Amino acid sequence: MGRTFRVYLAGEMVFACKKCGNHLAVSESVISKSFNGQHGRAVLIHHAVNVTLGEPEDRLMRTGNHTVRDIYCRVCNTIIGWKYDKAYEHQEKYKEGKYILERELIDEIPEPTHASDKPHIEEIITSVLPVLNNA
């Protein structure tokens, strides 16, 4: 549809797409910084915003088989990591529903939190369609 939302984040640090600066996550969302991605170091986070998800596919990783989806920056469409849909190994279950961001593809930018600088959602109307009423 013609309406998209972009979330602007505020936190101690904000992870942003290296290519276009799109905000993706806050440092408070980090679960672990000791992950490895396809391009080197990666971070495991609770939630990412302003991303689109690819189709689920099974990938065999060092820690066993996982169903994952690539995640794309919603602004510039660069693949910036993946999301774990399902982990087959019991000890890897904590990763389900979590996101991986590749350090190589993101920037960590300081974002001082001020009272006037709360996270907000900005609505971007890309096209205005006439509202059809079925009454």
Sign of CA dihedral 19, 21, 27, 31: negative
Selected range binding Zn ion among 39-47, 68-76, 103-111, 112-120, rule: CB under 5 A: 68-76
Q: Nearest Cα to 10, choosing from 99, 115, 123?
A: 115
Q: What pairing do the DSSP bridges indicate for beta strands 51-53 and 64-73?
A: antiparallel
| Least distance CB 74 / Zn ion (angstroms) | 8
Binding test (CB under 5 A) with Zn ion, winner from 75, 79, 107, 119: 75
Q: Residue 8: in which H helix or E strand, if any?
A: strand 3-8
What residues numbered 1-40 form the site for Zn ion, per CB under 5 A? Answer: 17, 19-20, 22
Q: Does 86 bind Zn ion (CB under 5 A)?
A: no
Binding site for Zn ion (CB under 5 A): 17, 19-20, 22, 73, 75-76
